[in-house]
Chains A and B, each alone.
Chain A
């Protein structure tokens, strides 16, 4: 009629026809009197009102509303059962300006996906969750839900929900509201026109807060399921009032304090490619091959107790070899062994690509304590080297086919007031007696491996002290 305006009508946020449902289709797949359609119309109206249709991404759950993407002319992502809040998190961390709509039923949100919704709420993910609570699993045909009322008959509680067998219904709005992060939590209902209008306001508010980047909003909506309740749509609405609303109290449990300024959410600023390469290659070890001819490979085993710097001694050795042009591998003992108790590291240096990184027959053993000598001395290759920390190791090796050296590494480190650096003494002595790598390389490598730069001078001092000791003892 030319003299009238359409005041209420189909939202432009819905597709004109629901082609994903079927050609020329205009009605939903929901049963007559279902609450889903009513809520989805409110969401569509709010999206239209705020002018955010292009920005909106609707997350379809599993359940009757799995096909919400038939209707919403927005970006759509269908999620696995219960995981919509995790998907929302992934989307939010990728698209700062998207408007994300979480839409979940009671089995989805309060059952299988309880952990996901609690944690998304607890992180305060900036998105809006609409929780449709109809106290039953709808799509699977009417089984008991976490929110099914005591005594309510369903296919899997045929005698009524029993608190001893089935537990009691979960109040999700209450649960969410006790978390510090959510900014808005309200429970609404579709029972009467008055409640429907209140729900409409809550839907709008939850979306507005998201647009304003205020944080996580949660609107629980008590919704009729006439089909699975075995009622007419009108009876179902009365049942919401008389039963659901007496257990799940309506009202606003939490709201944003408008006096509090909106906190700034972090914005990522990716660095450019050159900055990236500079960042990643920092600490690189310049490699100069010291010989044109192929050099023999060497394998090392370093053993001791956790805290003696066993693993970092190996790393230092590997760093030295790498800078002299060897290929290297370093393999730690790890796991339970690593947390206290014994530790050992295997290091291989070779001009060829290294095969097994496991050192079963080391050319050189560095025993930082007695148990390490006991454990590994019999594995040393004939003609190999055993070097012990004589501050700790009292016994001598039983092997007669190896070169044996003893250095009071712990005492020397203590003297230098750096007890943690006994490993540097051991590595220095090892390189000095074997001549495998130069002491100058060691001096250059220490700063590359050392984590506490303040101790650099004392570490370098220990290299000198070790050389001096070995000369005094006429070992070198």
Chain B
């Protein structure tokens, strides 16, 4: 078995190439620039298109144009850039165009700084742009997963005609790990709705505007039915040592990695601790978390925000068990012993660790 040692940011580019992405539109921003830099190197080398745009606003509209023309297109950015793209992402949703976007989250609000946070959760998972729409959101926690999720994102985006987000953070992007690269290489197929500039597609129209309330309702109902289908098809998560657990940490991305270390320490101490790791945060694994709640398993939600995913956890729990929030912001990540302490406190009955 041969591995390459690479950063999460590079793994994303490799995943995109394997996923059949042919167009990358980028704009520099730390800590996501390495994705654009990697694409600028790898895409032309493999006969695919990379270009740097004048702004994130333009980037997302270039993605819109390329997707309209049937391409598998993507971009990558961090919070401030994703915020600028939000209008375009809403248009992608309205026009039912597939796209893949990577968000390497950094600290906010405002300019914030380049250290990791997970505070784009609400923007990416709940919408960000205007209108009643959804993005499919994957949360990789390793270089290998970054590659595989980015690769698969293109198939999924095409299948449901939706934007797929890879919601990651500066640590996962900057960290280097062993990554294995295997086939097959995927490719986009001709889409019967896209505009190719030929006779067959001449009657196709890409638009998000609808003529009257009846048509607008019909369209919006269609979007909701797609979202319902996605919710049935795509929920993904990993559980580690949850079966007998008295307390389970719920975390994604870098927090899930730290959580994994913490439950090992706790298990050595004889504490029945587990880890629940959503791999998709929309659709959110509400049923599986509900099952834990029904068993009265205590939940500690660990995230690099004041508690954004925790809101979704509480909605799934519906008051059936105790939920505590361990949020850390400003680019600081929790230490393993801090999580161990928080779990220990919670077991002893302290709330809001």
Q: A and B touching (C-beta < 8 Å)?
A: yes
Determine whether A258 belongs to the interface, using a CB cutoff of 8 Å to chain B: no
Tell me whether A287 and B1 are in contact (CB under 8 A): yes
Cα distance A147–B333 in the bound complex, in angstroms: 52
Return the contact of A358 from the options B68, B211, B333 (Cβ within 8 A): B333
Tell me whether B208 and A78 are in contact (CB under 8 A): yes
Q: Is the interface of A mostly helix, strand, loop or mixed?
A: mixed
Tell me whether A76 and B195 are in contact (CB under 8 A): yes
Tell me whether A76 and B58 are in contact (CB under 8 A): no
Taking CB atoms, residues of chain B closer than 8 Å to A283 are 4
Cα distance A280–B336 in the bound complex, in angstroms: 35
Q: What 0/1 readout, one digit per residue, does chain A (297-338) give for beta carbons within 8 Å of chain B?
A: 000000000000000000100110010000111111011100
Tell me whether B258 and A355 are in contact (CB under 8 A): yes
Tell me whether A318 and B45 are in contact (CB under 8 A): no
Determine whether B87 belongs to the interface, using a CB cutoff of 8 Å to chain A: yes
Tell me whether B65 and A89 are in contact (CB under 8 A): yes
By beta carbon, the residue of chain B nearest A322 is B178
- Residues in B258-272 with C-beta less than 8 Å from chain A: 258-262, 264
Tell me whether B260 and A56 are in contact (CB under 8 A): no
Cα distance A334–B336 in the bound complex, in angstroms: 21
Return the contact of B202 from the options A54, A280, A329 (Cβ within 8 A): A54
Determine whether A277 belongs to the interface, using a CB cutoff of 8 Å to chain B: yes
Q: What 0/1 readout, one digit per residue, does chain A (272-286) give for beta carbons within 8 Å of chain B?
A: 010111011101111
Determine the interface band of chain B, counting residues with CB < 8 A from chain A: 35 or more
Tell me whether A80 and B88 are in contact (CB under 8 A): yes
Taking CB atoms, residues of chain A closer than 8 Å to B47 are 268-271
- Residues in B174-198 with C-beta less than 8 Å from chain A: 174-178, 181-185, 195-198
Taking CB atoms, residues of chain A closer than 8 Å to B347 are none
Taking CB atoms, residues of chain B closer than 8 Å to A76 are 195, 204-207
Determine whether B53 belongs to the interface, using a CB cutoff of 8 Å to chain A: yes
Determine whether B304 belongs to the interface, using a CB cutoff of 8 Å to chain A: no
Known: A87-B68, A279-B46. A286 touches B2 (CB 8 A): yes
Tell me whether A75 and B61 are in contact (CB under 8 A): no
By beta carbon, the residue of chain B nearest A78 is B207
Return the contact of A77 from the options B31, B65, B254 (Cβ within 8 A): B65
Give B163 Cβ to nearest chain A Cβ, in Å.
Answer: 15
- Of A95-103, A129-137, A435-443, A460-468, the one contacting chain B is A95-103
Determine whether A372 belongs to the interface, using a CB cutoff of 8 Å to chain B: no
Cα distance A279–B4 in the bound complex, in angstroms: 12
Return the contact of A54 from the options B49, B198, B254 (Cβ within 8 A): B198
By beta carbon, the residue of chain B nearest A287 is B1
Determine whether A83 belongs to the interface, using a CB cutoff of 8 Å to chain B: yes
By beta carbon, the residue of chain A nearest B2 is A284
Determine whether B335 belongs to the interface, using a CB cutoff of 8 Å to chain A: yes
Give B240 Cβ to nearest chain A Cβ, in Å.
Answer: 9
Tell me whether A358 and B258 are in contact (CB under 8 A): yes
Tell me whether B14 and A75 are in contact (CB under 8 A): no
By beta carbon, the residue of chain B nearest A336 is B114
Cα distance A283–B181 in the bound complex, in angstroms: 11
Tell me whether A279 and B45 are in contact (CB under 8 A): yes
Cα distance A76–B199 in the bound complex, in angstroms: 13
Tell me whether A270 and B22 are in contact (CB under 8 A): yes
Known: A286-B2, A328-B5, A331-B171. A94 touches B201 (CB 8 A): no
Determine whether A60 belongs to the interface, using a CB cutoff of 8 Å to chain B: yes
The residue in B45, B61, B211 that gathers the most chain A C-beta atoms within 10 A of its C-beta is B61
Tell me whether B68 and A77 are in contact (CB under 8 A): yes
Known: A54-B199, A69-B207. A355 touches B264 (CB 8 A): yes
Taking CB atoms, residues of chain B closer than 8 Å to A155 are none
Taking CB atoms, residues of chain B closer than 8 Å to A329 are 175-177
Tell me whether B185 and A94 are in contact (CB under 8 A): no
- Residues in A342-390 with C-beta less than 8 Å from chain B: 353-358, 360
Tell me whether A268 and B62 are in contact (CB under 8 A): no
Q: What 0/1 readout, one digit per residue, does chain B (1-40) give for beta carbons within 8 Å of chain A?
A: 1111100000000100110001101000011000000000
Cα distance A287–B182 in the bound complex, in angstroms: 15
By beta carbon, the residue of chain A nearest B255 is A356
Cα distance A81–B4 in the bound complex, in angstroms: 44
Cα distance A240–B208 in the bound complex, in angstroms: 34
Determine whether B315 belongs to the interface, using a CB cutoff of 8 Å to chain A: no
Taking CB atoms, residues of chain B closer than 8 Å to A284 are 2-4, 181
Taking CB atoms, residues of chain B closer than 8 Å to A243 are none
Determine whether B51 belongs to the interface, using a CB cutoff of 8 Å to chain A: yes
Tell me whether B195 and A327 are in contact (CB under 8 A): no
Tell me whether B58 and A334 are in contact (CB under 8 A): no
Taking CB atoms, residues of chain B closer than 8 Å to A55 are 197-198
Taking CB atoms, residues of chain B closer than 8 Å to A328 are 5, 176-178
Cα distance A332–B336 in the bound complex, in angstroms: 18
Having A94-B73, A115-B58, A335-B115, one finds 10 other A-B pairs with CB under 8 Å, namely A87-B62, A91-B197, A280-B14, A280-B42, A287-B2, A354-B177, A355-B259, A356-B260, A358-B258, A360-B337
Query: Could you list some 7 contacts between A and B, CB below 8 A?
Result: A75-B197, A93-B62, A95-B69, A98-B196, A284-B3, A285-B3, A334-B31
